[in-house]
Amino acid sequence: MNNALLVMALGILSTTQLHLAKAMQRQGIEIYDRLQARLKRTGEPLPGDARKPAIYVAGVILNQVEFVYAILAQPFGPPALFTSMFGMGLVALMLYAALVMKESIGRLEAIGSGLIVAGTLTIGIENLWRQDYDRFQMDVGAMLTVLLIVVGLAGLAMVLAYKRGSVNQIGLVFGLGAGALGGLDPFLKGVGQNLGGTPGFIPRTVPGMILFVSSFVIGFLAFATTQVGFARKAQASVLVPAYDSAYIVLPVLLQTFLLPSYRLYWTTVAGIGSILAGVVLMRAFGRARGIG
């Protein structure tokens, strides 16, 4: 098999497993309801299907071992070729949500998801032709300021959505918040590993090590945010596409404003526009059902 096709196949397997893992976490999230009922010791029957905890645990495990595909693909092609397939996983998730979880997916939501897939694939494939930017040129002070603003705004939006209690709004806002945090995880790792001018698997400077370690905290917060959204009954077919949107768009915007050598192409603008249009359509879908 051609090496490029092998890397793309591994990329598709990786993103499919990742998205199905998130769907399974949503499907089995009633484990929290069962734990609460057990802690209250009311003597009443525990709610939910008894198989749900097993489904949830399987989803968490699949989510945590997904990185193996990237390791397998590394010798055969550039990382950009592997990550360019990220949007394809959303197709598997929507099918699983509709056929297995019986989530109601309307025409506008399907179109919105399709636009998000098209946008993420456009930006992903575009990365194949981009040069490898020197991230140590980035102004770390400005980057940290922007990151604090992003995290602060995301946190405020999630608190407001949580209090309001709208299922669709929680799915959208928590998905965007988790995706923003998830997108910062590899971004901070890359910056930390490149600070000092000499890339390395382990950062060579103290600031780089701080950013590198912080990325793991950010990654855990992204995972926890999705779990809270699912626990609040957000649909996987709403939360995960929103997650994908922020995961792809935020690093592009950060590099545009903070990395002097980074350039926007017409394909970048088209990809971001397609993603944003998809998010808007999915929000319109929620309002049409009276749950937005």
Residue in the structure block whose two tokens are 């993603």:
275
Closest among 205, 191, 75, 214 to 133, alpha carbons compared: 191
CA 177 vs CA 68, 89, 145: distances in Å: 26, 19, 17
Tell me the C-alpha distance between 32 and 37, whole Å: 9
CA separation for the pair 269, 126 (Å, rounded): 11
Return per-residue pLDDT of the chain as tens, 292 residues: 567 788 888 889 998 999 999 988 888 876 555 555 555 555 555 555 556 778 888 888 998 888 788 778 867 776 667 777 888 888 888 888 888 888 877 788 788 888 988 988 888 888 777 765 555 566 677 777 888 888 888 888 888 888 876 787 888 889 989 988 888 777 777 777 766 656 566 777 777 788 888 888 888 888 889 988 888 888 888 888 888 888 888 888 887 877 777 788 888 899 999 988 888 787 655 444 433 3
Vertex 218: Cα angle to 216 and 219 (nearest 5):
65
Phi, psi of 252 (to 5 degrees): -65, -45
Which amino acid is residue 161, in one-letter code? A
Global pTM value: 0.79
